[in-house]
Chains A and B, each alone.
Chain A
Amino acid sequence: MKILVVTEQRQAKWNKASFETLAAAQQIAAETKGTLAAAVIGKGVAALADELAGKKLDEVLLVEHDLLDAYTADGFTQALAQVITSAKPDLVLFPHTYQVRDFAPQLAASLNRGMIGDCVGYRCENGRLVFVRQMFQGKTAADVTFQGAAPWFASFQSGAFRADLVAPHASGKASVSKPSVDLKPEQIRTRPLELFREAKQAVDLTQAPIIVAIGRGIKAPENIPLAEKLAKAIGGEIAASRPICDEGWLPMDRQIGSSGQTVAPKLYLALGISGAIQHVVGMKGSRTVVAVNKDQNAPIFEIADYAIVGDIFEIMPALTEQLEKAKSS
């Protein structure tokens, strides 16, 4: 069996899952007495190809092109389709990464083949490969095999094989070849922009020493800036009870309570929150609770250290003003 592993790199740095898949491929090659090649795709990645050549495999394919510098599904699909058509592997293996999820099904389909994704293992049964993948959130495992002619496509789940078990080359290095690929800019329909990393959650409420939480009493989303102003003046994070987040007035990661975050800040300012048990379980560990509510019978007052029976729309601006005055003096 002729096996091809498609590795993954970004800006000349390995995606480590590549080596897990390589370890799996080495095992399959040994069991089926097959040959093994591995491909590196990108631009200026010869050093990676050289590193790969030190592993136990027969050949490294260095697939380079200007249009493969940044990842695009079209570019990778077309380049690999050409490589596969000329190299004629029986089995093409990928690590099951986000990038692979993006282009590999398209690649398989462009060659009129199916793909078995996210496998956790394999077996060789009478020369036939059986792949194992999880179903029902891991409660059961399904055996899946290929029908029809090669090449077959499969990807392995991250962690399914051990990267540290990749065997080194027995006698130095494998040969590195550079298959030519023919790509034209107009074939690539997407235009990659600068790489960016999603900003981390701006807020970790569990670490905030002061939390200003709003409830139904805030009435409308237009009123939220009043509370945000107060939060800023007091140096606290804004949070809310479930109805506010449910309405989409604040993001869900700002929700305190049984279906949100559990917090225990030094100061918890509850504005217009009635204090249903679902909310209280998420904040009752707060050191000092100040509650403002119009209804003097609101259950929040049972756990409040300071209770203000009154209108939050009078109290929020007044508090903000006092805090700002205190700060500036």
Chain B
Amino acid sequence: MSVQREQLEADVLIVGAGPAGLACALHLANLIKKHNESGGKPALSTENIYVLEKGREIGAHQLSGAIMNPRALAELVPDFEKSAPLDTPVTDDAAFFFTKNSAYRFPITPPPFKNRGNYVVSLSKLVKWLGGLVEKSGVNLFTQFGGAQLIYEGEGIAGVITEDKGVDKNGKPKDNYTPGYELRAKVTVLAEGPRGSLTKDLVARKELDNINPQTYGIGIKELWDVQPGRIQPGFVAHTLGWPVDFSTYGGGWIYALRDNRLSIGLVIALEYQNPQFDPHEAFQKYKTHPFLKRILDGGKLVRYGAKTIPYGGWYAMPRTYVDGGLIIGDSASFLDSQRLKGIHMAMKSGMLAAETIFEGLLAGDTSSKTLAAFPKKVEQSWIKKELWSVRNFHQSFQHGFLGGMFHAGLQFISGGRGLIDPMRSHPGYKAYHKINGAPAPERFKGDGKLTFDRLTDVYHSGTRHEEDQPCHLVVADLNVCSTKCVTEYGNPCQYFCPAAVYEMAAEKGELRLKINASNCVHCKTCDIADPYQIINWVVPEGGGGPNYEGM
């Protein structure tokens, strides 16, 4: 059946209303306003900027620790301190090394963990606020619409087709069937966050990869209301060590917000060796450490979520421009892999993209010739400086913690160069060892007070999807799951998914993969960490997904 799609045309179409996409929209709107006010020709309109967001509302899919370096925000909204929802400035920062029962505080907080001058924020709240400013500027924001396919034309892209609505499980139209819109734009900006589904397709099709593949971590977070007096607002701590072993790269965080609210989480690089390792379980155990238990006891879980983080850095940044298209934010690796900070860089990349687009619209040329100015602007900005100094950082840790510390130390004193530059990396899923008949580990249950099983946590993510729709986790060959993967890797999807989406169900003596797609929190871990790379995450019906209010 050929589908008749409604068409809309825009100057600029931004996919994803996160810090990168919204900063791009707002900065471009500001440039256009100034241009029009000074009588510039041709006159441009902010109404011709469209932003698509798959979440129920702006901010619904935003999750981060989060400590924000305000550098980019200060450039974008100079008086941001007056109205931005900044929870609290960082008042004290500390780094700890955990063993199972003890916590050793580093006598001096190592430079990457220094955070004075930064703010502890709820990224969801911050982005919601930013969305308000964007809306006021006249830009069209469409929530509950995801970019399902790119429109490829010539050497580049010409827009996006949004997801079809009202399609049932078997792909048949329901009463409320609405085909996706065909949105055409002079410039399409991919700001989808880590492992964007359109970005993935574009990078593969146009071979935009850099010398290193992108590597990722998964961050698992809970928001707690703790008993008064347990922790001072503005205190931030990072931990290394237990429950993360030396062969795995990862660490924890505890950020104290106002009103006895606490952000706690664990980040694990998705390049661990044991395919039956369970990051969610590791995080649950993390909370039982005496240091954390003391803070959390008597408190209450408020919200849960998980999201991937691009670790690859400078050498994993894909080519960020094609004819009619740009890639920004986490989708393009704009994240400091040493400090694990990306909000400021995502915003800055959006602003630089906005400047590039503005010039292209005025010149009437949005081909790659003009858009190639974007990476040049990045080169000349502080983004390059920050990313360059840690360009080899994460790669050092792909072969273990101790070697990593050694390399990282040398890099620190040599401005990022270290012993090998550029240091190469491999995709994380290649690190898995085979299970060699190891039995399936017993699943973690939780005590229901301090620790929780996965389903209970998923409930607290507020995730919801229309149940009667095609599965948005497209597995290319389910046979692999029930045969090869069972013996080789023991179906790691059951363990790495932080939302209990994947389940091996025993049926007539055989294991069969059951996909509980409506539990999905849109973290993209499966698309990244599947050992056979046969899981493809595509956008579900718009409005589905977690509700990260306050995260």
Partner-B contacts on A (CB < 8 A): 135-137, 139-140, 142, 242-243, 245-246, 252, 255, 258-259, 276-278, 281, 297, 299
Contact = CB atoms under 8 A, between A and B. Distances in A.
Interface of B: 6, 8, 140, 142-145, 165, 178, 181, 445, 448, 455-456, 458-459, 464-465, 467-468, 516, 518
A116 B144 CA distance: 25
Nearest to A133: B6
Given A142-B8, A276-B455, A137 B464 contact: no
6 contacts: A135-B6, A142-B6, A259-B467, A276-B459, A278-B459, A281-B459
A246 B516 contact: yes
Contacts of A252: 467-468
A277 B464 contact: no
B516 A139 contact: no
B181 A136 contact: yes
B142 A136 contact: yes
Contacts of B467: 242, 245-246, 252, 255, 259
A278 B181 contact: no
B459 A139 contact: no
Contacts of A242: 467, 518
Contacts of A278: 455, 458-459
A135 B455 contact: no
Among A136, A243, A258, chain B packs the most CB atoms within 10 A around the CB of A136
A276 B456 contact: yes
A21 B465 CA distance: 37
A78 B455 CA distance: 58
Contacts of A136: 142, 145, 181
A95 B445 CA distance: 57
Contacts of B465: 259
A252 B518 CA distance: 14
A276 B140 CA distance: 40
Contacts of B144: 137
Contacts of B518: 242, 246, 259
Nearest to B458: A278
Nearest to A258: B459
A163 B140 CA distance: 34
A277 B8 contact: no
A277 B145 contact: no
Given A136-B145, A142-B8, A259-B518, A277 B456 contact: yes
Contacts of B464: 258-259
Contacts of A139: 142-143
A142 B181 CA distance: 13
Nearest to A281: B459
Is the contact region of chain A dominated by helix, strand, or loop, or is it mixed?
A: mixed
Q: List 8 tightest A-B contacts by C-beta distance, closest first.
A: A277-B459, A276-B455, A136-B142, A277-B456, A278-B459, A259-B467, A139-B142, A259-B518
A279 to B, nearest CB: 9
Nearest to B464: A259
A297 B6 CA distance: 54
Nearest to B141: A139
A276 B181 CA distance: 38
Contacts of B143: 139
A277 B455 contact: yes
Contacts of B448: 299
Contacts of A245: 467
Given A252-B468, A278-B455, A135 B140 contact: no
Given A255-B467, A258-B464, A277-B459, 10 more contacts: A137-B144, A137-B165, A139-B143, A142-B6, A242-B518, A259-B465, A259-B467, A276-B455, A278-B458, A281-B459
Contacts of A281: 459
Nearest to B162: A136
A243 B519 CA distance: 12
A245 B456 CA distance: 20
Contacts of B142: 136, 139-140
Contact of A135 (B181, B445, B458): B181
A139 B53 CA distance: 13
B520 to A, nearest CB: 12
B455 A140 contact: no
A164 to B, nearest CB: 28
B516 A140 contact: no
A246 B140 CA distance: 36
Nearest to A139: B142
B463 to A, nearest CB: 10
B429 to A, nearest CB: 28
B36 to A, nearest CB: 22
A283 to B, nearest CB: 14
A197 to B, nearest CB: 16
A274 B8 CA distance: 49
Contacts of A135: 6, 8, 181
A125 B147 CA distance: 35
A216 to B, nearest CB: 9
A73 B455 CA distance: 50
A114 to B, nearest CB: 11
Contacts of B459: 258, 276-278, 281
A245 B518 CA distance: 13
A313 B464 CA distance: 33
A137 B162 CA distance: 13
B492 to A, nearest CB: 22
Contacts of B145: 136
Nearest to B169: A248
B53 to A, nearest CB: 11
A111 B6 CA distance: 22
Contact of A140 (B140, B445, B468): B140
A258 B458 CA distance: 12
Nearest to A279: B455
Contacts of A255: 467
A179 to B, nearest CB: 32
A246 B468 CA distance: 9
Contacts of B468: 252
Contacts of B8: 135, 142
Contacts of B178: 137
B48 to A, nearest CB: 13
Contacts of A299: 448
A299 B449 CA distance: 13
A299 B465 CA distance: 24
Nearest to B165: A137
Q: Which residue, A137, A252, A297, has most C-beta atoms of chain B within 10 A?
A: A137
Contacts of B140: 140
Nearest to A98: B175
A166 to B, nearest CB: 29
Contacts of B6: 135, 142
A126 B357 CA distance: 36
A135 B144 CA distance: 13
Contacts of B458: 278
A202 to B, nearest CB: 18
Contacts of B456: 276-277
A62 to B, nearest CB: 33
Nearest to A260: B467
B331 to A, nearest CB: 23
Contacts of A246: 467, 516, 518
